[in-house]
Amino acid sequence: MEKAEKALNFIEHIVEEDLANNYKKEELRFRFPPEPNGYLHLGHASSICLNFGLGESYNAPVNLRFDDTNPAKEEKAFVDAIKRDVEWLGYKWDKECYASDYFQELYDWAIMLIKRGKAYVDSQSSDEMAQQKGTPTEPGIAGPYRNRSVEENLELFEKMKNGEFDEGMHVLRAKIDMASPNMLMRDPILYRVLHKAHHRTNTDWCIYPMYDWTHGQSDYLEQVSHSLCTLEFLPHRALYNWCLDQLVSNDKLRPKQREFARRNLSHTIVSKRKLLRLVEEGVVSSWDDPRMPTISGLRRRGYTPESIRNFADTVGIAKRENLVDVSLLEFHVREHLNRIAPRVMAVLNPLKLVITNYPEGKEEWVETENNPGDENAGTREVPFSRELYIEQEDFKEEANRKFFRLKLGGEVRLKSGYIIKAESCTKDAEGNITEVQCTYDPKSKSGSGTEESLRKVKGTLHWVSIKHAIEAEVRLYDRLFNDENPDGHKDKDFMEFVNPNSLTTITGYLEPNLKDVKAGERFQFQRLGYFNVDTDSTSENLVFNRTVGLRDTWAKIQQKN
């Protein structure tokens, strides 16, 4: 229903056009084709959301296909991690496919190619072949094996398959055009010998097909209608089509490859090799460190699948270079968490506050909303007593009228509690404030309905009763990189931009309702931000991650002065 309202992106325009011309709606099929050689990250999320989103809007199946043609890099563990991440994002694939399931068909087609004189075994070194390949501005030249006989090619390819050759001795190449302006058409390699066990086919094969000889065929076998990939594969399209030309039959659907620009996120890096460096050099603790742009990192950080999908959706898709600001991602987590996260009170930088006219030993439980924006969220009770913690930031001995918080002689409301007035404070030898003494107005209790309780005071502070507070380890995260585009400097290594303060670990004091929280649960620490329970958390040692802070206009006001 909301689809009719929404403008279409250029991929959807292509689909619409195909639907208007030669495709039937039932023929639409998409696929997400990761190589199981690492963890999924935000970049993959774009592709996932694009393909599965298309599947949803056209009610078309989407395959999850593992592009597992290089056993040197791929592992079962990554397959499992990828499946878990796609599921977590909230998508269901139609078929779970593997390029390795097509090894036999691919091999048979290669034989066919050889028989038609369109493929040959080359027995040169990769250096020699690279030499002959030319450059983008100069055409390539034919190698000495280009015109081997069909029989010889057949025999050699058979021996390659049977494991009679070492790696690197022979490859199978398509015979296309060594002078093509498209480098990829200069007799691309189709098969190489790899004496490695594959995580699914084990040692059944010792020749493995290359990407270009696999992808289009896989799409064709699965009858994928639209094969979407990133822009750097654009030159591969000609080869994709060439491969299909060799084998498509007219009664079956012919897949088409279309390309979109990968999404780049500011202050972030996504290259597998570089993320690995962050892990190996100990900048982060692991692949699922909450600072990592991996799906598992974002999950651990407290991001919701909805927020990532909404982000992908509003960013959209196009063909130009881009650098999306992280603030948009942050906006979407806040937007979602604001709706679903229960509010709680927690003090992260405690300052002791003593209410001198509050009876010693007295305690009462005050009622407070779980989410002011959601009537159905209900209320809970929080213990209040004579000695509380407030944030150090929330008290100043003196301040101008812009400062809505507590100052000597000034009044403030303790959220869901009483209105208090700061009377005095004590300091240590260095002049740091160690305690604030205040008085409260017993008639001003929140919700009591008294005239005093209805008084307007400018500031409201969150607080926690010292006696009842529970301690927790709180991990405060900041951007991993200080530069907007850490990967975008030709003369500088991205490691130079690592933010040394991307993680600060402190002890926080929480309202006691939080004592039984479980990993993954999300909360808003009122006035501070959104936090979730980390997987490291135990009942003895609670651990919270700050997913994202609240919008902080006060911080901006201060910055200006």
Partner RNA sequence: UGGCCCAUGGUGUAAUUGGCAACACUCCGGUUUUUGGUACCGUCAUUCAAGGUUCGAGUCCUUGUGGGCCAACCA
Residues 163-182 close enough to bind RNA by CB under 7 A? 167-171, 181-182
Q: Which helix (H) or strand (E) holds 473?
A: strand 470-477
In whole angstroms, the minimum distance from the beta carbon of 537 to RNA comes to: 23
- Distance CA(48)–CA(64), nearest Å, equals 10
Is residue 80 part of the contact set for RNA (CB under 7 A)? no
Residues in region 42-71 near RNA by CB under 7 A = 67, 69-70
Site for RNA in 481-520 (CB under 7 A): none
Residue 438 three-state SS: strand
Stretch 304-323 residues interacting with RNA (CB under 7 A): 314-323
Distance of CA 326 to the CA centre of its chain: 11
Rg (CA), the chain: 31
Q: Applying CB under 7 A, which of residues 21, 376, 402, 431 lies at the interface with RNA? A: 402
- In whole angstroms, the minimum distance from the beta carbon of 251 to RNA comes to 28
**Total of residues contacting RNA (CB under 7 A):** 91
The interface mask with RNA, positions 245-284, x = CB under 7 A, is ----------------x-----------------------
Q: Does 342 bind RNA (CB under 7 A)?
A: no
Binding mask 410-429 for RNA (x = CB under 7 A): ---x-xx-------------
Tell which one of 361, 373, 431, 500 touches RNA (CB under 7 A). Answer: 373
Q: Is 383 in the site for RNA (CB under 7 A)?
A: no
| 3-class DSSP state of 178 | coil
- Residue 388: both structure tokens together: 């509380």
Question: Using the rule CB under 7 A, is 526 a contact of RNA?
Answer: yes
| Enzyme catalytic residues | 35, 262, 272
Closest CA to 176 of 84, 106, 113, 219: 113
Q: Which residue type does 211 have?
A: Y
Which of these segments, 204-212, 287-295, 382-390, 536-544, binds RNA (CB under 7 A)? 204-212
- Please report the beta strands in 360-468, taking only residues with DSSP state E, as ranges in sequence order: 363-369, 379-385, 387-391, 395-396, 406-407, 411-414, 419-427, 433-440, 460-461, 464-465
Q: Which amino acid is at 488?
A: G
Strand partners, 530: 524, 548
3-class SS of residue 278: helix
Q: Tell me which of 90, 235, 442, 512 binds RNA, using CB under 7 A.
A: 235
- The total of other beta-carbon atoms located within 10 Å of residue 276's CB is 12
Identify the residue whose tokens are 């460096």.
Answer: 277
196 in contact with RNA (CB under 7 A): no
The first and second tokens of residue 244, run together, are 């299909």
Q: Which is nearer to RNA, 24 or 489 (CB)?
A: 489
CB of 312 or CB of 543, closer to RNA: 312
Residues 145-164 binding RNA (CB under 7 A) are none
Smallest distance from RNA to CB 240, Å: 11
Q: Quick one: which segment of 40-48, 291-299, 347-355, 443-451 binds RNA (CB under 7 A)? A: 443-451
DSSP string, 495-554: GGGB-TTSEEEEEEEE-GGGTT--TT-EEEETTTEEEEE-TT--SSS-EEEEEEEPP-HH
Can you tell me the distance from the alpha carbon of 224 to that of 153, in angstroms, rounded to the nearest whole number? 32
Q: Does 327 bind RNA (CB under 7 A)?
A: yes
Distance CA 119, CA 145 (A): 11
| Closer CB to RNA, 7 or 429, in the complex | 7
Binder of RNA out of 241, 246, 439, 453 (CB under 7 A): 453
61: Cβ–Cβ under 8 A, 6 or more apart, which residues? 29, 30, 55, 94, 95
The least CB distance from residue 131 to RNA, in Å, is 9
- The minimum distance between CB 262 and RNA, in angstroms, equals 10
Q: How far is the CB of 430 from RNA (least distance, A)?
A: 25
The window from 112-120, 365-373, 379-387, 421-429 that contacts RNA (CB under 7 A) reads 365-373
Of residues 14 through 33, those in contact with RNA by CB under 7 A are none
Q: Distance between CA 137 and CA 193 in Å, rounded?
A: 30
Quick note: the x/- pattern for RNA over 117-136, rule CB under 7 A, is: -------xxx--xx--x-xx
Binding RNA (rule: CB under 7 A), the pick from 154, 328, 433, 470 is 328
CB of 138 to RNA, least distance (A): 8
